[in-house]
Amino acid sequence: MLDTLQDSIETTAAADAAGKRNRLKSIIGGSTGNLVEWFDWYVYAAFALYFAPHFFPAGDQTAQLLNSAAVFAVGFVMRPIGAWIMGLYADRKGRKAGLALSVTLMCAGSLIIALTPGYEAIGVAAPALLVLARLMQGLSVGGEYGASATYLSEMAGRQRRGFFSSFQYVTLISGQLLAIAVLIILQAFMTAETLNAWGWRIPFFVGAALAVVVFWLRRGLAETESFKNVRASDMQKSGFWMLITQHPKETALVMLLTAGGTLAFYAYSIYMQKFLVNTSGFTRETASQINAITLFVFMLLQPIAGGLSDKIGRKPLMIGFGLCGVLFTYPIFSTLETTKDPLIAGLLVMGALIIVTGYTSINAVVKAELFPAHIRALGVALPYALANTLFGGTAEFVALKFKSSGWEQGFYWYVTAMIGISLVIYLFMRDTAKSSAIRED
C-alpha cells in the first residue's frame, strides 16, 4: 500500500513537472514569435529616416517624415479588421492557428517593402506598394495582439499570470529594440550614402526570413486548456454581435483604458527617435543609441512590474501610470526640446518609459481577464485595435502636424489629456486580478 502511495506521489510530481516544462516551453515559443512579428512592424519606424526619400517626392525632411508617418498610420486602419477576422479565427480554430496566420501576413508585407523600387523608378506605384505592404502588416498585427495576449494569459498559471503575460511586451519591445540594434549595426558598418541608397532594405529581408522560421515554430505550439474546454462545450461561437450585445461594458472598458496607454507608448518610444532628431537636434546615430539603451531598460522592467501586479493587483500600477503621465508628460517633452546633452535626454526618455510601464506590463492580462474564453481573443483584440488605430497609430502623424503648424507643444497637451481620460477609467474599474474571467489555472 505504501509502495502504491509512493508511486502515485512520484507520478503526480512528474506530471506536474512535465506540465510546468510544457507551459514554459509554450510561453517561450509564443513570445519568440511575437518578437519577430513586432520586429517586422517596427523596422518601418526605425528606418523611416532612410527610406522616406525613396518612396515620396523630393521635399524637406519634415514633409517626407510626415508622409511616411501617414503610411504608418494607414497600417493601423487595418488593425481593427485584422483583430476582427483573426480574433474570430483564434476563438473558433485555436490560439496557435491565429498566431501562425498572422506571421504569414507579416512576412509577405516585409518582402514587398524590401523589393519595391523607389519613386524615381516607378512613380506613384512606389508609395502605393508601400501602403499595400503596411495594410497587410496592419492586418497581421491586428490579429497578433489578441491571439498572443490571450495565449500567454491562458498559458500562465493563476499565481504568476501578470508576470508571464508581461512577456508579450517584453517581446514587443525586444522586436523594437532588435530593429534599432540592426539600425545601429548598419550605421556602424555602412556609410550614410550606402544606407540611404539600398542598405535600408536589409532589415526587411531579415524580417521576412525570420517570419518563415516563426511560422514553423508556431505550428508546433500546444493549445491552451481554455480553448480546449470551449471546443468541448456547446457554447455559442464567438462573433461581433455577441461581443457588442453581451459584453458592451468590457468592450468599452478595453478601448478607454487603452487610449491613453497606447498613445503614451507610441509617443515615448516610436516617435521619440524622430523627435530627438527633428526637434532636439541630435544626430540620427545619437538618437538611435538613446532609443536603444532606454528601450532595453524598459524591456527589463516589464516582468518586474508584471510580477508586482500578481502581489498587489493590476489597478495600482495603472493608476500610477495615469497620475505620473498627467503630471510629467509636458515637462518631459518641453525639456527634451531644448536639451543638447545626450545623457540628460536619455534620462528624460527613461523617466517617461518608467511611467508607461504601469500600463504596458499588464495591459494584455487585464484585457484577457475581462472576457470569458469563448470570446476572449476577439474581446481582447478588436476594442484594443480600434483604440490603437485612433490614438497609437496616429501619434507620429499628429505630433508632426502640430510641429508643422508651429505649435509643437499642442502634442504634449494632447498626450496628457488622453492619459487623463484613461486615468479616470483606472480609478473606477475593478481590479481584474481579483475577479479574473480566466478560470483555468
> Which pLDDT value is given to residue 234?
63
> Which pLDDT value is given to residue 441?
59
103, part of any domain: yes
> Which pLDDT value is given to residue 8?
46
> Which pLDDT value is given to residue 103?
84
16 pLDDT more than 60:
no
9 pLDDT more than 50:
no
11, part of any domain: no
When pLDDT is averaged across residues 86-112 and rounded to a whole number, the result is 86
Residue 97 CB contacts under 8 Å (≥ 6 apart), including other chains: 89, 90
Distance between start and end Cα atoms, the chain: 31
> Which pLDDT value is given to residue 138?
83
When pLDDT is averaged across residues 40-61 and rounded to a whole number, the result is 77
Whether 363 and 258 have beta carbons less than 8 Å apart is answered as yes
> Which pLDDT value is given to residue 5?
45
CA distance 365 to 359: 11
> Which pLDDT value is given to residue 15?
40
19, part of any domain: no
403, part of any domain: yes
Give the CB-side neighbour count of residue 414, counting CA atoms within 13 A.
20
15, part of any domain: no
412, part of any domain: yes
127 pLDDT more than 50:
yes
CA distance 313 to 431: 6
> At residue 434, what are phi and psi to the nearest 5 degrees?
-100, -5
Q: Among 22-31, 45-54, 259-268, 327-336, where is mean pLDDT lowest?
A: 22-31
When pLDDT is averaged across residues 81-89 and rounded to a whole number, the result is 89
Given pLDDT bands bounded at 50, 70 and 90, which one contains residue 300?
very high
When pLDDT is averaged across residues 61-79 and rounded to a whole number, the result is 72
When pLDDT is averaged across residues 56-79 and rounded to a whole number, the result is 71
Q: Report how many domains make up the chain.
A: 1
Residue 293 belongs to domain with CATH number? 1.20.1250.20
CA distance 66 to 15: 56
308 pLDDT more than 70:
yes
441, part of any domain: no
Q: How far is CA 282 from CA 128, 297, 327, 331, in A?
A: 31, 21, 26, 19
CA distance 435 to 370: 8
Q: Rounded mean pLDDT of the chain?
A: 86
387, part of any domain: yes
DSSP string, 77-134: HHHHHHHHHHHHHHHHH-HHHHHHHHHHHHHHHHHHHHH---HHHHTTHHHHHHHHHH
Which pLDDT tens digit goes with each residue over 331-353?
A: 999 999 999 999 999 999 999 99
pLDDT-above-90 percentage for the chain: 44
Given pLDDT bands bounded at 50, 70 and 90, which one contains residue 313?
very high
386 pLDDT more than 60:
yes
Domain limits for position 201: 28-229+237-434
171 pLDDT more than 60:
yes
When pLDDT is averaged across residues 96-119 and rounded to a whole number, the result is 86
18 pLDDT more than 50:
no
CA distance 400 to 403: 5
> Which pLDDT value is given to residue 51?
82
Q: Among 19-33, 141-155, 359-373, where is mean pLDDT lowest?
A: 19-33
Of residues 219 and 260, more confidence is placed in: 260
17 pLDDT more than 50:
no
